Amino acid sequence: MLEEITIEEKGCAKINLALHVTGVKEDGYHILDSIVIFTDIFDILTFKKGKKNLLTFTGEFSKALNVKNNSVIEALKLFENLLADHFAINVEKNLPLGAGLGGGSADAAAVIRFITNYCNQPMPSFEAISKIGADVPVCVLSLASRVGGIGEITRPIDISGIDLWIVLVNPRIFVATGSVFEDVSKKNNEPLEPFTNFRKTDQFIDYLRRQRNDLQSVAVNKWPEIKEVLDTIDKTQDVLLTRMSGSGSTCFGLYRTQDIAKRAVSYLNQKSSKWWVKYSKVS
């Protein structure tokens, strides 16, 4: 079945709409409580059977990647000695690096989905998967979720009744996740407020406004460019919520309609031609 065909998997950008740091484990990993959604902005991975494993990168953000040391290689290692076949894998890298979008995690997740779906291999435990990166388990699902622990606890949430658009802005600076976490002074913060389900957009926005990203103040203090992005999104017309995703450097604004989101994109592109600006339906 796989002899001649090329299989495609998407690595969709994830967004932390809220991210609370609720503790730290003995091994140094931080315990999180987060609401994660996905966008239709993505890397594209293609898989084709070959004589040996071969990894190549293309796309706007491919130049900074290391072919020998990256999340795709780590994902393949989960299936070491289990696969009889070899694959040529190309990653079209459309998502910026060090951006709080889980791009590397989404790519690793795409590899895991491909191998479990097409190579008859069992899904590794989310605990094993989370060792590649905290975002990899939820990226395997690629569904709106509440994420806990160090990323290994994922519970899908129903946001089918929510009608929102999101605008992403990245100032094209690389933020190392570890450097942000190590500067978080208060490690034992309150978890997310309890919720059952979100039936209406207004209810969802009101809930999110009462939550936080506990990494945002750290990143803003380290990188003034992130504060500039947040302040500029805040000035867009009819923005419902402005926040940073993950450990940065991408920030987002939430909007009611596609037209309002498009207007925000135009405004943001006028303010800086250097920023990476995209929009998507929230899903």
What is the per-residue pLDDT for 2?
Answer: 64
What is the per-residue pLDDT for 3?
Answer: 64
Q: How crowded is residue 195: how many other Cβ atoms within 10 Å of its Cβ?
A: 13
Give the position of tokens 């709080």.
100
State pLDDT tens for residues 98-133.
Answer: 999 999 999 999 999 999 999 999 999 999 999 999
Nearby residues of 209 by Cβ (< 8 Å), 6 or more positions away: 241
Domains with residue ranges and CATH for the chain: 7-156 (3.30.230.10), 165-281 (3.30.70.890)
Sheet containing strand 276-281, strands side by side: 241-244, 251-255, 165-170, 276-281
Share of the chain above pLDDT 70, in %: 99
Separation between Cα atoms, residue 133 and residue 97, nearest integer Å: 14
Q: What is the pTM of this model?
A: 0.96
- By annotation, the residues acting in catalysis are 14, 135
- Note whether 269 and 277 are within 8 A (CB): yes
What is the per-residue pLDDT for 282?
Answer: 96
Task: State mean pLDDT over 249-272.
Answer: 98
State pLDDT tens for residues 155-211.
Answer: 999 999 999 999 999 999 999 999 999 999 999 999 999 998 899 999 999 999 999
| More confidently predicted of 80 and 274 | 274
Rounded to the nearest integer, the mean pLDDT of the chain is: 95
- Alpha carbon 92 to its chain centroid, in Å, reads 16
Confidence tier at 68 by pLDDT (50, 70, 90): confident
List, in sequence order, every residue forming a beta bridge with 32; answer none if it has no partner: 21, 149
Give the position of tokens 């905290």.
134
Confidence tier at 27 by pLDDT (50, 70, 90): confident
What is the per-residue pLDDT for 161?
Answer: 94
Q: Say yes or no to pLDDT of 1 above 70.
A: no
